[in-house]
Amino acid sequence: QIHIRHKVISAETGKHFTALLLDDRKRSVLILGSGLDVDTEPYEGNERYRILAKGGKISPDEKVDKIVAGFSHMLLLTNKGKLFAVGDGTNGKLGTCQLERDGTTSRFVAARTPQLVRFPWAQNQIMSLAAGEQHSAVTTTDGHLYVWGQGRKGQLGVGKFCHCYPMPAKIELPSGDDFATFVSCGKDHTLVATASGKVLGFGSTCYGQAGSQSLFYQVCSPEVVRTGHFKDAYHTLVA
């Protein structure tokens, strides 16, 4: 049993970790487990419980409003509308474009403290955010969908299968269903709810989890989910 003095606002689970957003003065993020390789500090002097060390990127007057967890990374949205990412940076899923060179090769750097996700152009306030195994996504109040990270199985919806997009890319949605209101990411597929009341899916569909009618196992562009195709790693539930 976990004894925490403050109210828990929300809980998120990764592959080998759990993150709890606490309703304390700092809006601390309590990390349980060992699957998120980040810097932590004691929770109110208690070494047994560790909270995410926010570092210098999140200003002292900023508070975390929402968190989502992927397999080995997290996204944090603050009360100032800024998006931060922390954890494993493989395949550019943090969206921070930070690289380090190792001889003749380059690799994406992990973030041990929250790093700001920079969008290539001005965007409205973030409405929803999601994290998969190797990709991330957000929707904004102006109905746009942004994705980044690995796209080998079409989970980015950019219209092609690609190694990765290391920074947010705006996705073109089908005419008539082009106002995104909510996004959710599975292991390697993505679902988007639209203002028209429909749900769009793309990515791996080998088990039908992206809701596609395609005969192929992977879909790289948004398609309308048809009734009868009902998300975790390999399945999807629409309510």
**233 torsion bin: left (phi>0), alpha (psi -120 to 50), beta (else):** alpha
Q: Identify the three-state secondary structure at position 142.
A: coil
| CA dihedral (148, 88, 154, 176) positive or negative | negative
Judged against a pLDDT cut of 70, whether residue 237 lies above it is answered with: no
Cβ atoms of 225 and 211 closer than 8 Å: yes
Per-chain mean pLDDT for the chain: 87
Do 144 and 123 form a contact (C-beta atoms < 8 A)?
yes
Written as one string, the DSSP assignment of 36-93 is S---EEEETTEEEEEEE--TTTS-TT--EEEEEE-SSEEEEEETTS-EEEEE--GGGT
User: Do 231 and 200 contact (CB within 8 A), yes or no?
Assistant: no
Residue 122 — very low, low, confident or very high, per pLDDT cuts 50/70/90? confident
Q: In the numeric block, which tokens belong to residue 220?
A: 């790289």
Tokens of 237: 């539930």
Q: Which two tokens stand for residue 109?
A: 């750097």
The residue type found at 159 is G
Of 140, 152, 143, 227, the closest CA to residue 189 belongs to: 152
- The tens digit of pLDDT for each residue in 198-231 reads 999 999 886 665 555 554 468 889 998 876 544 4
Note the pTM of the prediction, 2 decimals: 0.88
Quick: pLDDT tens for 26-60.
Answer: 899 999 998 898 999 998 888 888 999 987 689 88
